[in-house]
Amino acid sequence: MANPAYLIVAIDIHDQEAFGSYVEQAVPMLQEYGGVILAATPNLTVERGVWPRQHLTLIKFPSPFQAEQFYQSEAHQPVKALRKSASDGDLVLVQGQPDSESDKADDQSTPHYLLGTTTMTDTGWITEYMQKTPPASAKFGVQGLIMGGDFTVLEGNWPRESFVLLKLPSAQAYQDFWFGEDYRAMKELREANTIADHVSFAGVVE
């Protein structure tokens, strides 16, 4: 079974009415290809570096093939043109990690995400990081949905070498993990050896 794929849509909207029309047409279309919207929000918190766009949409597809079928489909082309007329943006398709049985948020909470784009300045730290991070991740319910550099830029510009997408059960779990003592040493190790742009945001209730 193919790994899931994530379509990351980072945009600035300059025509809200036209963009609303685009959304009405695009959502049923992407659902035909198995697409699920995980987040669609202007409420972004920049945790590191910069994030040049004002709005972020995160869409999960069962496979890269289905995501590409959606994006390249004949029916999608006029809808895509409508989006481009209403916004400026950067789109990238990233291969994700295999789904796990725990890949569901608690029914009573809204999942929280951290999306990062990264360029490594050194690689000697990775083994220690991979060995010592799992206990903190497990404690706070962190799931690594994207971990790597297998991506295709569909529109615009993504200057970094790799992506990471973390999912946590709630905003509180995110705060406790990202800013807490359990992860602090490994966070500092990672930040000392990378150039990165990180943004956090709430998802939709699943």
- Domains, the chain, ranges and CATH? 5-99+109-202 (3.30.70.100)
pLDDT at 159 > cutoff 90: no
Confirm if 94 and 8 have CB atoms less than 8 A apart: yes
Element (H, E) at 80: helix 76-86
pLDDT at 81 > cutoff 50: yes
Q: Per-residue confidence at 66, pLDDT binned at 50, 70, 90? A: very high
Residues paired with 46 in a beta bridge: 199
CA atoms within 13 A on the CB side of 97: 15
Distance between CA atoms of 203 and 58, rounded to whole angstroms? 9
Burial pattern 155-177, b for ≥16 Cβ within 10 A else e, equals beebebebbbbbbbbbbebbebb
* pTM for the model: 0.94
Percentage of the chain surpassing pLDDT 70?
95
What mean pLDDT value characterizes the chain?
A: 94
Mind listing the pLDDT tens digit for each residue in 31-59? 999 999 999 999 999 999 999 899 999 99
**pLDDT score at 104:** 53
pLDDT at 206 > cutoff 90: no
pLDDT at 102 > cutoff 70: no
Confirm if 205 and 108 have CB atoms less than 8 A apart: no
Q: Which amino acid is at 145?
A: L
**pLDDT score at 105:** 46
Q: For 6-22, what is the mean pLDDT?
A: 97
**pLDDT score at 205:** 80
